[in-house]
A and B are shown apart, each in its own frame.
Chain A
Amino acid sequence: MVEARLKQAGLGDIFERVVAGERLGYEDAVRLYRSPDLNALGYMANLVRERKNGDRAYFVRNQHINYTDVCNKFCKFCSFYAGPRDSRGYTLTPEDVQARVHRARDFPVTEIHMVGGINPALPYSYYLDIVRAAKTARPEAHVKAFTMVEMAQIVKCARKPVDEVFADLRAAGLDSMPGGGAEVLSDRIHGELFPLKQDGREWLEMARAAHRAGLRSNATMLYGHLETPEERAEHMVRLRELQDETGGFLTFIPLSFHPENTELDHLPPTTGLEDLRQLAVARLMLDNFEHIKSFWIMITPEVAQASLWYGADDVDGTIVEYEITRPEDGSTRQQLTRQDLIQLIVEAGRRPVERDNLYNVLETPSLAA
């Protein structure tokens, strides 16, 4: 019956290739993005998910630090930034970073995630210092810092070859890099929404350089604004091609656009169906990415729970501080406890696995009695 339903949905040919383990193409991605048959997409995505990760649902305990909200890129989809001349902007000193990491000492944090805006006043030494500060305060934690966008600024400040900059950062304690800043790898979207920031080709080039320097990174796509299904498909193909070349991407995370307090606040928020579709298509297209992550704070815990059967094998873990997308407006809780997360996973029939940044298993917890 399932096969009959998939054929009715017009996806029978894609289903055959998924079962055979064959790679899907650009046109397949466009069809998948256009299909309203959520469960057809999810059923296929789940086949791939279980083929790669069984019934595991990974999570990591991390601490987020946004070291500055000052930014000179003025991206239209961002509600976080303060312009360089805005007195409300903040920048943490290395001592502030150290204090924040230290403040969470009593919490078991595996990963410190540090990102920020592009503050033109910050010297090269600052970036090295905050990495050192985090690492000094918590030597056992994995430091995941700086998107490719920030790296472009860091390289510019350093006035050194990019490989030397990566070497300096690694020596300071940088362990891996987050996937933000890719937005949509489309020249049209770049021109419309973030013309002052690096374009898709530059983002991919920086990721290539990071991977060659021995640093693994994540990848993202911001969806739900102006992008077309074709542009989404193009984004998937370009990420996959780079992954074929370097193998350096760890995880893909679709990021849902939140229009409030942005220049695009006339747009509606993403729907649950779209959130799940993004995860499913990513799982089907990115056959060379081991992991697809569901970012619960953006799509709600309820959708993140369902997503464990629509392609996601990773649910972002407890978050101690998070400032970029969701200010405290009461519409989403800022923090799930570890036990909440485990319960969410177990209820969905998945096996919770606490991991480190490289997906090594730390613990396979169960529900408390």
Chain B
Amino acid sequence: MSLRIAAEKIEQGRRLNERDAAALLASHNLAELGLLAEQARLAHNPEPLAAYAIGGSIPVASRGLSPRPSKMGESSPGSPPPPDNRGVFAPRSSKMGESAPGSPSGIGIRYDEIEDLARRLEGWGATDLALYGALDSEPVLSEWVALLAAIHAAGGVERPVWRLAAAEVERLAAQEELPLDTVIGRLRDAGLEMIAGEPVGPVPAVSPHPRLALHRAAHAAGIVSTAGPPEGASDAGGVIAHLAAIRELQESTGGFVAYVSGPVGRRGRGDVLVPDHSGGVPVSSFHYLRSLAAARCFLDNVAHVQAAWEAQGAKIGEVALRFGADDLGSTGICGLQAALPPSLLMPVNEMERLIRDSGFTPRLRDGRYKPISTERIAGRVSVWGSELRVVPQFGADSAPSES
């Protein structure tokens, strides 16, 4: 299929249809796709800027010391867990938090300890944090409500944006046997500002649906969200259907702040989506960059598109900034021990180096994709991990490096 028609539409600022998207996803000329995506990017982000956030995802565990009583056929103590639709979890390579007492999986910050962590993270300069339920220790709805209220009350003027994983909201609705809008309403009243539609935390089994109902309910409640990549759809039809659904919902609600790109399709062992760089079959960078370009061109009503450096690696993550992404995502965060500062998966300086190397000027943002004044953290020493990582002085001092 020729890209001529799609290229003309992009140049003229006209909307692409699904046939145009199919042409993009059938093309193999990566550089040409990249050029089209860069043109589409200009319509939303004409300045040569690329944003990033300081933060990452935090697993939260219930205070309960044993698995919760079964409501949905989950295991009662002593019996093996029944199969459910969560499938097999493939933890990412980063450390995702510390053990919650009694947690069978051993991962997660106890929900009643988050308030203290929130104050420290704010002090350290975190700007965007996404919460999800720790495996087999997910907090119940009342615990989430209490946690969000505490974070909201504890936060200062410069508090980071706290987002909650869409998969967690869905799980809560199912567990409590409540309608989505009821659950979302309670979370909003407790202080929830935003829902993360992209995969957060250990990669779950694919969602059986694009969570449109959840996003629609969230937007109706005044909560904005990010749209995630197609989960499990590796063929063009699936990708197009996913993008079309997002665009249509955005047309009526305007509640998507960004589209977060990710690995495309199922790769690796069995049916687990494994972004794997240490063994097994690698996730295809070709498919990723092509689908990213198609997303930027097609989603003409979504302001921001985020690269997936954690899943694709830093090299392809940077290249993604030349395929329509205007955002490099979060630094990632790990080692959330109570006493010590956590570590960043990618230091701030490295995020900025990659952005400059790609030809853009780095801009710090919050979880709502709003730029943050450099004065907020300029001069503040952020201690991440065991090494002092000085948050750089922004503005005039941050001249682009020689290429």
Which of A's residues lie within 8 Å of B, judged by CB? 1-2, 4-5, 33-34, 36-43, 45-46, 228-229, 268, 271-276, 299-303, 305-306, 309-310, 330-333, 340, 343-344, 347-350
Contact = CB atoms under 8 A, between A and B. Distances in A.
Interface string B31-53: 11011101100000000000000
Interface in B315-360: 315-319, 322, 350, 353-354, 357-359
B141 interface: no
Q: Which of A268, A306, A348, A349 has the most chain B CB atoms closer than 10 A to its own CB?
A: A306
Q: SS class of chain B's interface: helix, strand, loop or mixed?
A: helix
Q: For chain B, which range describes its interface: under 10, 10 to 19, 20 to 34, or 35 or more residues?
A: 35 or more
A302 B32 contact: no
Given A306-B286, A310-B30, A349-B28, 6 more contacts: A34-B403, A39-B32, A42-B34, A271-B358, A272-B317, A299-B315
B75 interface: no
Given A1-B39, A5-B39, A272 B315 contact: yes
Nearest to A37: B359
Nearest to B8: A1
Contact of B281 (A34, A40, A343): A343
Contacts of A300: 277, 313, 315
Nearest to B30: A309
Given A229-B403, A273-B318, A347 B284 contact: yes
Nearest to A310: B31
Contacts of A302: 282-285, 312-313, 315-316
Interface of B: 7-8, 10-11, 28-32, 34-36, 38-39, 277-279, 281-287, 289, 312-319, 322, 350, 353-354, 357-359, 402-403
Contacts of B28: 309, 348-350
B32 A43 contact: yes
Contacts of B403: 33-34, 36, 229
Contacts of A301: 282
B35 A39 contact: yes
A276 B281 CA distance: 22
Contacts, number: 125
Q: Which of A38, A43, A228, A229 has the most chain B CB atoms closer than 10 A to its own CB?
A: A38
A263 to B, nearest CB: 21
A273 B286 contact: no
Contact of A1 (B10, B314, B315): B10
A305 B286 contact: yes
Given A268-B353, A305-B285, A306-B289, A39 B7 contact: no
B319 A38 contact: yes
Contact of A273 (B36, B289, B358): B358
Contact of A333 (B32, B35, B278, B316): B278
A302 B276 CA distance: 11
9 contacts: A1-B7, A1-B11, A39-B322, A43-B32, A228-B402, A302-B316, A306-B30, A309-B28, A349-B28
A310 B357 CA distance: 18
A330 B278 contact: yes
Contacts of A344: 282, 284
A228 B403 CA distance: 8
